[in-house]
Structure formats: C-alpha cells, structure tokens
C-alpha cells in the first residue's frame, strides 16, 4: 500500500474489509482539524512576534517585552493543539517496517498489535489529562503566571487548558483507532 499524502487521511488496511462497522466520527474529526488550524495560526503569530522582536532589537535597540515567555507558552500550546489531528491523519512519526510485514503475513495479529499500541496511547494520554487537572485548577483559581511582575506577565491557565483539551482529544482519537483495529482483527480471517 502506498503511503498517504499530506492531504489524504491514513486509512488502516483493516478498514477496507467489506462489511465492517465504521468507527468514524466526522464531527470529532472536524473539531480536531479546527484545533490543528488554530495551532497553525498560533505558529504564524509566534513567527510574526519573533520577527518583530528581532526588528525592534536591531532597529530600535529595544526588544519587545515578553516574547520569550509567550513563545515558550505558545510552543506547548501548538503541540497539544496539533497532536490529535496528526494522530487522526496518520502523521505521527513511526517505524512501519515491522508492522507492514506483519500486516502482509498475519493481518489479524497486526490488527491486534495495533489495537494494543493504540490502547497504550490512550492510557498515556489519559495519564497526561489526569495529571493536568490539578495544575489547571490551580492556575485558574490562583492566577498563576509566567514572567516578571511589573515587567511582563502572562497567565498560564489558557495553555494548561489547551494541554487538557489536547490530551483528552488525543486519548479519544487513540480509543477510536484502537476500536477500529480491534474490529479489524475481529473481522479479518486467518490466524492470530
């Protein structure tokens, strides 16, 4: 199977099995794509901010206050905004040498292994989500910020909230992929 292009979504080979239930969620997919688009806009905004800071340093001998802090927060936000869509469209880095060979020789075993790996992804994203709940509540209620008081401060709760949303969406996408592979293993003939 040829690898997908940047615009076509990855469809696991098991999904092509005739008569198979579909575990797609088009509204959820649109949400993930919207979050990814928001992440792209944030990248553009950070790029413009850094360019403006460099220009201000060179032309005015005065940097823009808070650029370092905003970019530090922005990088984390971009990762968690774009992670779920990257997973959904098969754009996460992975080594496929082993799994492609296994899919050709033992498709059911490959589907079960993929289901297990996606379940592990769900588990780890759920851990990130659970571990972020308390810091989000703290940053929301106590007014946590990054920066130096009197010079520049930015609240941390929006980024911690993005980590919550991004980890929850990624966990749900891993769960959908695990169900897809599990269903593929159940409908694929042959031995495991």
Helix H, strand E, coil C: the string for 17-36 is CCCCCCCCCHHHHHHHHHHH
- Where do the structural domains in the chain lie, given as residue ranges? 25-187
pLDDT band at 188 (very low <50, low <70, confident <90, very high): low
Task: Please name the residues in contact with 158: beta carbons below 8 A apart, sequence gap of 6 or more.
Answer: 73, 77
Residue 164 has pLDDT above 90, yes or no: yes
pLDDT band at 19 (very low <50, low <70, confident <90, very high): very low
- Asked if residues 14 and 188 have their Cβ atoms less than 8 Å apart, the reply is yes
Q: pLDDT above 70 covers what percent of the chain? A: 85
Total residues found in the chain within this entry: 192
Q: Is 162 exposed, middle or buried (0-12, 13-18, 19+ CB in 10 A)?
A: buried
- Asked if residues 160 and 139 have their Cβ atoms less than 8 Å apart, the reply is yes
185 vs 37: CA distance, rounded Å: 33
What local confidence, expressed as pLDDT, does residue 191 receive? 55
- Please give the average per-residue pLDDT across 135-147, as a whole number: 95
What local confidence, expressed as pLDDT, does residue 99 receive? 83
Alpha-helix runs per DSSP H in 61-106: 67-88, 97-105
3-state secondary structure of 143: coil
Quote the mean pLDDT of the chain.
87
CA angle, corner 174, sides to 172 and 181, nearest 5? 125
pLDDT band at 26 (very low <50, low <70, confident <90, very high): confident
Cα of first residue to Cα of last residue in the chain, in angstroms, is 21
Whole-prediction pTM value?
0.83
**Least confident interval from 23-27, 39-43, 68-72, 78-82:** 23-27
Residue 5 has pLDDT above 50, yes or no: no
């Amino acid at each position: 199977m040829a690898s997908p292009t940047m615009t076509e979504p990855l469809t696991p080979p098991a999904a092509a099995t005739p008569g198979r239930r579909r575990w797609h969620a088009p509204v959820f997919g649109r949400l993930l794509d919207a979050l990814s688009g928001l992440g792209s806009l944030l990248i553009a905004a950070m790029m413009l901010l850094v360019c403006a800071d460099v220009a201000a340093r060179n032309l005015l001998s005065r940097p823009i206050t808070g650029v370092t802090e905003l970019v530090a927060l922005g990088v984390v936000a971009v990762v968690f905004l774009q992670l779920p869509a990257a997973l959904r469209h098969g754009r996460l880095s992975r080594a496929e040498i082993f799994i492609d060979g296994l899919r050709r020789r033992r498709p059911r075993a490959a589907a079960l292994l993929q289901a297990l790996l996606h379940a592990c992804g769900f588990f780890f994203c759920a851990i990130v989500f659970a571990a972020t709940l308390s810091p989000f509540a703290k940053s929301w209620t106590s007014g946590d910020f990054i920066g130096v008081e009197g010079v520049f401060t930015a609240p941390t709760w929006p980024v911690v909230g993005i980590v919550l949303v991004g980890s929850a969406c990624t966990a749900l996408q891993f769960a959908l992929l695990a169900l897809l592979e599990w269903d593929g293993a159940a409908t694929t003939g042959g031995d495991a």
